[in-house]
Structure 1
Amino acid sequence: MKYDFSGWATRANLKCSDGRTIMRDAFKQNDGQKVPLVWNHQHDDPNEVLGHALLENREDGVYAYCSLNDTEAGKTAKLLIQHGDISALSIYANQLKQNMSNVVHGNIREVSLVLAGANPGASIQSVIQHGATIEDEAMIYTGEELSIMHSDDPKPPVEKPEKPEKNTDENGETIGDIFNTLDEKQKEVVYALIGEALENNNSEGGDNTMKHNVFDQSEEQNSENVLSHSEMQTIIEDGKRFGSLKESFLQHAEEYGIENIEYLFPEAKSLNTPPDFIKREMGWVQTVMSGVHHTPFSRIKSMFADITADEARARGYMKGKLKKEEVFGLLKRTTTPTTIYKKQKLDRDDVIDITDFDVVAWLKSEMRMMLEEEMARAILIGDGRLPSSDDKINEQNIRPIWKDEELYTIRGIVKGDDSDKAALATEFIDQSVRSMTDYRGSGSPTAYMTAEMLTECLLLKDTNGKRIYSNENEVATAMRVSKIVTVPVMNNQRRKEGSDTYTLQAIIVNLNDYNVGADKGGAINMFDDFDIDYNQQKYLIETRCSGALTKPFSAIVLETKKTA
C-alpha cells in the first residue's frame, strides 16, 4: 500500500515531562487499526480530516503509516511536510489507565499533524487523575521526526535524523527549550493550569478533550479559563484578612473553580533528613570514653600499703638496742559492676511509613550517643540524680572522680568568687600549679573544666592591657596540664559538706588511671524485640560494668568554696 509519510505516534518506556511513562504495549489493541489523520486534533471538524493512519504496535511503541487525501487541506499538508515546515505527530487517546506513574493501557482515537512547537521528547497534555488507576483522555506528543515515503516499501522506513525544531525565537530557542528551563515547581504550576483548563472545559459542556497544543495557543485561547481581574483582586485583598495569600487562595478555590491548588503551594521540603538532634556539645564524651583504661573483668580490687608514715621509715641501730619492726597500713577497696541502660520503642506502623530515612538506625544512634554521654558523666562527676531515685547510677559501682575519696582525689580550693572574675581566674591557675606538687598519677594529665572558667582565663590581661594567654594551649601550659577539654555538664555542679557549698571548676586527671571493667557479654550491647500485642518494635542498649580510679593521688579537683 502507498503511504505519504510515517513516524512514531508514541514511544514506549519514554518518561514524559509530567513524570508519567508510556509502557510497552499500552496501545497494543490498536495494532493494525486505521484511524483518522487530522490537523492539530481538530477532530470535530470534517474539513480538518487530512487522511488516515495505519497503526503498527512495536516493541518500542506505536508506529503510524500515514496517507493524505487529495483534498485541498491534504495537499497543503503534504507540501508542508515535504518542505519540513511540519515534522511531528501527536495522538489523541482515551480510556487511559495508569498504575502509579506508568500509563499501561489506552485507546488511540486519532493521529494529528502538529506544529513542532511542543517541547522536545515526550509529553502528555493532560494532568487529570482520579486515583491509583485512572481513566483519562490525553494528547500524547513524542517529538519524533516524520519520514517521507517515496515508494511502496512495506518495510518500516528508516527514520531521518532529527532536524532543528521550528517556531524558534530570535535567539534560536524553541518553546520546548524554554519550557525545559523551568524548575520542577514551575512545571507543576504549568500542569495545574493545564488541568484547570480541562476541568473548566468539561464544566461548560465541553467534550472532555483539549484540542490545542498547550505550547501553541492563540491569544483568544489564552483568554479562556483564567481568573478575572476582580477575582484576583478579591483574593489579594482577602490575603490581608486571612494572614497570607496562600490561605486566601485556599478559601476561594472552590468558589472560583480552582483545582489542583496544591501545585501552587507545594509542601515544604526537609533540608535535614534524618532530623538533627538538639544536643549538648559531645566532643568531650569520646575523649573520656577513649581515655579510660579498659579491662575484660568487672570486679576490681585495689590494694595499697601506706609507707608515708614515720613508722615505716628506715631506722638507725645502736649496739645493744632492740631492732623495731616496720609498721604500715594496708589500704584496699573493691568495686563491683552495675547495669546502665537506655530503652526505646517504635510503633511498627511508623517504621513502615517513614520512608525518607532509616528511622531504626537513626534511633539506635541516638541511644548509643546518650548511653555513652551518661557513662562519661558518671565517671567524671556522677549522674546527678538523687540517691533515692530508681534510675541513679550507683556511685559505689561507677565511682565519680569528683566525689572520690581523698586517697585518690586531691582537692584544691580556689579562693575568690564571681564578683571579681579576673582575680578568680588568676587564683584558679595558681591553685592548679600548687596542686600538681601532690599529683602522683600517670604522665601529664588533662584538665576537664567549664567553658566559663576557660573563657575567664583567656580574658586575663597584664598591667598594659595585653592578653596574657592567646589560646587555650597557653592556658594549659600555665596550669601544667597536657590539654584542656571543656565539659558542658560540669556547669553549676555543686556539693555540700556541712554548712559549706563547693562549686566544681575543674577535674585534672589522666584517665588511664581510671579503670572501666566489663565481663564477657557485659560490654555495650543492643537488643531488639517485637511486641505482638501492641504492634511495637522495642529496643534496648545496655552495659554492665564498673569504674574507679586505681592509683592514689591520681586526680585533682579544683573547687570554689562558699560558707553559709
Structure 2
Amino acid sequence: MKKSLVELLEARQKAVDELSEVKLKKSAVEVKLKAATIEDDVLEQLKTEAENLATQATSLKETIAGLDSDIEETEEELSKAAHVIKSKQKGKSTMDYLKTKAAALDFVRILMDNEGSSNAARKAWEANLVEKGVTGLDKILPEPVLIAIEDAFVNYDGILNHVTKDPRYSVRVALQSQVSAAKGQKAGKTKKDEEFSFTDFTINSATVYIKYAFEYADLKKDTTGAYFDYVMKELAQGFIRAVERAIVIGDGKAPNADDKITEIKSIAEETLSELFDTQEIDLKAASLTQTALETLVAGIDKMAATATPILITSKAIARKLKTAKDPEGRYLDPQPFAPIATTGNIISGFRVYVYDWMDDATNPIIAVADKAYKLVGDDVAADKFEDYDVTVNRRHIELASVMGGRLGQYKSAVKFTSAAG
C-alpha cells in the first residue's frame, strides 16, 4: 500500500534524525581512534565500530534519497489531483449536484440500500456520481453531509480557538527557564559564557474518536435528511466537547480505562512546575467583593507568557465574578446582569469561557495564555468512517482523529484552588 505524503515526510524526518545520531557516534569513535595507540586493546573494536557506523550512515543516506524521490512523486500526483478537482469545479454543472440536499438524501439512501457491505455502498455512491456527471471524484461526500460535520468545527467559539495547532504527530518541546543577561567586563578579565537551563519533553498523539449507530428504520423514515444532518452535527459537537474537556481538566475517565484519551494532557492535571503556577482564591460567598477580583488578577499576573489570558470556569462562578462589588457596593463589571454565554464572555476585561463540566471541577477557575497550549496531529476536525452491521440492521458512523496536546510555554497557565475553610 502506497504511503501518504504525511507518512513519507515523517519517515524522512525519522531517517534524518537517525543519520544525525549515527554521525555523532561516528565522530566520537573517530576521536577515540586518534587518541588510541597500536598497543590499545580496543583499537580493533573501535575500527569495527567506525566501519559499522559508516555503513549505517550510507544506508540511511540511500533511504533518505529514496524517500525524497517518493515525496516528489507523491507531491506531483497530489498536484495533478488538485488540478483535476479544480477543473471539475469550473464546470459548475457537475459539481452543483454535490451541493444539493438531494445529494445528501441519495447518500443516505445508498447507505441503507447497501446493507451489510461498506464496499458495495462505496461502489454504489461512485456509480451515482458518474450518473450525475461527477467523474473522478468518487471519494467526495455530498456537501450537505460535509457541512453538517464541518460547521461544528469551523463556526465555533471555544477553547479550541485558543490553542496552537501543529500538524506533526510527535513534537519535542524545550523550555528555557532562565533569562539571559549581558555582563560587564573589566580590563584583562576573561569573558564568561551565558548559561541556560532547559526542560524538554515530547508531546505524542493517539486516536480520539466518537461513533454513533443509526437504526435502519430511523434512516428509512428520514425522508428529508434532517435526522442524519442533526446526528452528524451532534457527533462533531461531541468530539469537540471531549477534546476541550481533555485539554482543561481531563476526560474524566479512570487512568486505566480502555477509552481514556491518553495523549491530550490536561492543564488541571499538569505536574511539570515549569509550565504552570497556582493561586488560592475564595469563591464560596454568595456575592464577591473587589478582593476576589484582586486575587484573580494576582494569580493571572503569575503567568510568564505575555499573551492574552483565557479563563475557564463554571457559569455560577462566572456570574459571581460579573456581579462582584467594590467597597462602596458598586458593581465592578459594566454589565453585571448581562447573560452568561458558553462562548467567550468579557468579565472585568477578561475573556471567560463557561463549561458545565467545570461545575464540580477541582479547580474552580483555570487560566491559560492564548495559544500556549500546543495541540499536535490532525487539525481540529475529524475523518469520517462508516460501516453496516447486517445482523442488527444498524449503520455505524464514526469521527476520528489522531491528536495529542500539552502546555508548551513556560509558566503559561494558572490553576486556581479553593481557599481553605
Q: TM-score, normalised by structure 2?
A: 0.55
CA deviation profile, 1:359-404 (whole Å, cap 9, x unmatched)? 322222221111111011111211122212222111xx21212222
CA deviation profile, 1:497-522 (whole Å, cap 9, x unmatched)? xxxxxxx22222233222222259x9
Q: What is the CA-CA distance between 1:323 and the residue it aligns to? A: 5.2
Q: What is the CA-CA distance between 1:530 and the residue it aligns to? A: 1.5
Name which of 360, 376, 382 aligns with 1:517: 376
Q: Which has the higher strand share?
A: 1
The gaps in structure 1 that reach 5 residues or longer are: 1-281, 495-503
Change (3 A) 1:378 1:478: closer
Q: Which residue of 2 aligns with 1:344?
A: 212
Q: What is the CA-CA distance between 1:457 and the residue it aligns to? A: 2.5
Q: What is the CA-CA distance between 1:322 and the residue it aligns to? A: 5.9
Q: What is the CA-CA distance between 1:422 and the residue it aligns to? A: 3.5
Q: What is the CA-CA distance between 1:487 and the residue it aligns to? A: 2.1
CA contact (8 A) 1:284 1:485 kept: no
Change (3 A) 1:480 1:348: closer
Q: Which residue of 2 aligns with 1:367?
A: 235
Q: Which residue of 1 aligns with 2:164?
A: 293
Q: Which residue of 2 aligns with 1:95?
A: none
Q: What is the CA-CA distance between 1:317 and the residue it aligns to? A: 4.7
Q: Which residue of 2 aligns with 1:167?
A: none
**CA distance in 2 between partners of 1:325 and 1:289 (Å):** 41
Work out the number of aligned pairs and report it.
Answer: 263
Q: Which residue of 1 aligns with 2:405?
A: 547
Name the % identity: 19
Change (3 A) 1:436 1:535: closer
CA contact (8 A) 2:276 2:303 kept: no
Q: Are 2:266 and 1:400 aligned?
A: yes
Identify the range of structure 1 (459-468 vs 367-376) with the bigger mean alpha-carbon deviation: 459-468
CA contact (8 A) 2:333 2:348 kept: no
Q: What is the CA-CA distance between 1:456 and the residue it aligns to? A: 1.7
Which residue type is aligned with residue 541 of structure 1? L
Q: Are 2:312 and 1:454 aligned?
A: no
Q: What is the CA-CA distance between 1:463 and the residue it aligns to? A: 4.8
- CA RMSD after TM alignment: 3.4
Query: Secondary structure of 1:407's match?
Result: helix
**CA distance in 2 between partners of 1:399 and 1:459 (Å):** 33
Which residue type is aligned with residue 358 of structure 2? M
Change (3 A) 1:360 1:562: same
Change (3 A) 1:461 1:303: closer
CA contact (8 A) 2:376 2:403 kept: yes
Q: Which residue of 2 aligns with 1:155?
A: none
**CA distance in 1 between partners of 2:187 and 2:261 (Å):** 60
Change (3 A) 1:437 1:352: closer
**CA distance in 1 between partners of 2:324 and 2:176 (Å):** 43
CA deviation profile, 1:252-297 (whole Å, cap 9, x unmatched)? xxxxxxxxxxxxxxxxxxxxxxxxxxxxxx9997322223222221
Which residue type is aligned with residue 250 of structure 2? G
**CA distance in 1 between partners of 2:157 and 2:305 (Å):** 21
CA contact (8 A) 2:313 2:365 kept: yes
Q: What is the CA-CA distance between 1:313 and the residue it aligns to? A: 5.2
Q: What is the CA-CA distance between 1:561 and the residue it aligns to? A: 3.8
Q: Which residue of 2 aligns with 1:303?
A: 174
Which residue type is aligned with residue 174 of structure 2? M
**CA distance in 1 between partners of 2:358 and 2:267 (Å):** 12
Q: What is the CA-CA distance between 1:324 and the residue it aligns to? A: 4.7
Query: Secondary structure of 1:412's match?
Result: strand
Which residue type is aligned with residue 441 of structure 1? A
The gaps in structure 2 that reach 5 residues or longer are: 1-152
Q: Are 2:296 and 1:429 aligned?
A: no
CA deviation profile, 1:400-457 (whole Å, cap 9, x unmatched)? 122223212221111x362x3445x544311222233332324322222222122222
CA contact (8 A) 1:527 1:540 kept: yes
**CA distance in 1 between partners of 2:332 and 2:243 (Å):** 36
**CA distance in 2 between partners of 1:328 and 1:357 (Å):** 60
Name which of 379, 391, 413 aligns with 2:280: 413
Query: Secondary structure of 1:342's match?
Result: strand
Identify the range of structure 1 (299-308 vs 370-379) with the bigger mean alpha-carbon deviation: 299-308
Q: Which residue of 2 aligns with 1:484?
A: 352
Question: Which structure would you say has the larger Rg?
Answer: 1
Q: Which residue of 1 aligns with 2:124?
A: none
Change (3 A) 1:284 1:480: farther
Q: TM-score, normalised by structure 1?
A: 0.42
Name which of 368, 376, 381 aligns with 2:249: 381
Higher RCO (C-alpha under 8 Å, 6+ residues apart): 2
Change (3 A) 1:536 1:422: closer
Query: Secondary structure of 1:344's match?
Result: strand
Which residue type is aligned with residue 167 of structure 2? P
Q: Are 2:199 and 1:331 aligned?
A: yes
CA contact (8 A) 1:292 1:511 kept: yes
Which residue type is aligned with residue 388 of structure 1? N
Change (3 A) 1:548 1:326: same
**CA distance in 1 between partners of 2:337 and 2:205 (Å):** 37
Q: What is the CA-CA distance between 1:472 and the residue it aligns to? A: 5.7
**CA distance in 1 between partners of 2:337 and 2:195 (Å):** 45
**CA distance in 2 between partners of 1:465 and 1:316 (Å):** 54
**CA distance in 2 between partners of 1:429 and 1:536 (Å):** 53
Change (3 A) 1:410 1:291: same
Q: Which residue of 2 aligns with 1:52?
A: none
**CA distance in 1 between partners of 2:381 and 2:264 (Å):** 15
Q: How does 1:9-408 map to 2 (within 5 A)?
A: 286-308=157-179, 314-317=182-185, 324-355=192-223, 357-394=225-262, 397-404=263-270, 405-408=272-275
Q: What is the CA-CA distance between 1:545 and the residue it aligns to? A: 0.9
Q: Which residue of 1 aligns with 2:394?
A: 536
CA contact (8 A) 2:222 2:228 kept: no
Query: Secondary structure of 2:384's match?
Result: strand
